[in-house]
């Protein structure tokens, strides 16, 4: 069955997504001190909130993971980037749609374990104050961003949700936000790091090492700007 693709945004959605992102950031900021557990339902809520009022090919694409049996068009919806290679698959791919639910459950179990550890080290009101603590948070943000991109759970909007996840971490631990949600950063380093985080069949493994370095540089630029101003 051929299903409608959602590889590109309708240009009319840009300003609406930007407004939705700003409102969602305000919501995340106001609830940051609650130190909530991250769940698939919450990520789907972010996706639905971010794309509220947007024109999309299939309404069910919003707020649902690929492979969700409740949306027939998503059951075998695969996503990839770049040219097809010898096996017929794109150069970079999100995991197979049928694996998304299990992969995201595993990813969130791992992330929530790190959240629990960092929550103990950095209680509410205590921002990272040493280079080691800052690196721990940045490395975690890179891991969360990279693992989300590796799975690519949604039909579209994965990059902006990954960046929202980074914002969620920064707000939780008192670091300044250093990534735009929409439009995405156009730096070659960021784009290259994001692609590095994705894999392809059969193992779908990516590397998030480059992302850690890119995020550290971006944060340093923001902090330097704050000191100057």
User: How do residues 166-188 score in pLDDT, each as one tens digit?
Assistant: 999 999 999 999 998 887 888 99
What is the reported pLDDT for 180? 84
Three-state DSSP state, 84: strand
160 sits in which H/E element: helix 158-173
Three-state DSSP state, 209: helix
Closest CA to 184 of 209, 162, 208, 165: 162
Please compute the mean of the pLDDT values over residues 30-54 and round it to a whole number: 97
Alpha-carbon torsion angle 132, 135, 140, 145, nearest 10: 180
What is the reported pLDDT for 44? 98
User: Does residue 229 surpass a pLDDT of 60?
Assistant: no
Please give the tally of structural domains in the chain.
1
Q: Read off the pLDDT of residues 68-126 as tens digits, 9 standing for 90 and up.
A: 999 999 999 999 999 999 999 999 999 999 999 999 999 999 999 999 999 999 999 99
Distance between CA atoms of 91 and 195, rounded to whole angstroms? Answer: 10
* Token duo for residue 120: 């103990």
The pLDDT-based confidence of 227 (bands split at 50, 70, 90) is low
If you average pLDDT over every residue of the chain, what do you get? 94
Distance between CA atoms of 202 and 96, rounded to whole angstroms? Answer: 10
| 4 lies in some domain | no
Three-state DSSP state, 82: strand
Please compute the mean of the pLDDT values over residues 190-196 and round it to a whole number: 96
Distance between CA atoms of 179 and 18, rounded to whole angstroms? Answer: 13
Please compute the mean of the pLDDT values over residues 196-223 and round it to a whole number: 95
For residue 182, give the CATH number of its domain. 1.10.3290.10
Q: Read off the pLDDT of residues 9-27 as tens digits, 9 standing for 90 and up.
A: 888 899 999 999 999 999 9
| 30 lies in some domain | yes
Closest CA to 95 of 206, 185, 223: 206
Query: Which residue do the tokens 């509410």 mark?
Result: 124
| 1 lies in some domain | no
| 3 lies in some domain | no
Closest CA to 181 of 156, 159, 203, 150: 159
* Token duo for residue 15: 């300003």
Q: Read off the pLDDT of residues 136-166 as tens digits, 9 standing for 90 and up.
A: 999 999 999 999 999 999 999 999 999 999 9
Closest CA to 77 of 98, 46, 57: 98
What is the reported pLDDT for 21? 95
Say which residues have a Cβ less than 8 Å from residue 112's Cβ, sequence separation at least 6: 37, 38
User: Does residue 29 surpass a pLDDT of 50?
Assistant: yes
**Separation in Å, CA 56 to CA 8, 69, 187:** 10, 19, 27
Domain of residue 95, residue span? 12-228
What is the reported pLDDT for 224? 86
């Amino acid at each position: 069955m051929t299903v409608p693709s959602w590889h590109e945004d309708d240009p009319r959605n840009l300003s609406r997504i930007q407004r939705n992102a700003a409102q969602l950031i305000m919501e995340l900021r106001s609830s940051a001190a609650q130190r909530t557990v991250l769940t698939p339902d919450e990520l789907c809520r972010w996706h639905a909130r971010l794309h509220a009022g947007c024109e999309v090919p299939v309404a069910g694409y919003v707020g649902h993971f690929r492979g969700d049996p409740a949306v027939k068009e998503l059951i075998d919806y695969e996503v990839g980037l770049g040219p097809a290679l010898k096996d017929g698959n794109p150069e970079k791919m999100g995991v197979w749609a049928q694996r998304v639910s299990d992969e995201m459950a595993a990813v969130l179990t791992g992330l929530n374990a790190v959240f629990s550890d960092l929550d103990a080290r950095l209680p509410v009101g205590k921002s990272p104050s040493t280079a080691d603590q800052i690196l721990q948070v940045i490395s975690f943000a890179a891991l969360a961003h990279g693992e989300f991109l590796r799975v690519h759970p949604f039909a579209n909007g994965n990059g902006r949700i990954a960046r929202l996840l980074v914002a969620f971490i920064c707000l939780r631990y008192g670091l300044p936000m250093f990534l735009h949600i929409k439009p995405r950063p156009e730096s070659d380093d960021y784009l290259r790091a994001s692609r590095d985080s994705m894999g392809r069949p059969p193992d779908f493994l990516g590397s998030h090492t480059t992302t850690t370095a890119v995020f550290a540089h971006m944060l340093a630029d923001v902090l330097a700007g704050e000191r100057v101003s």
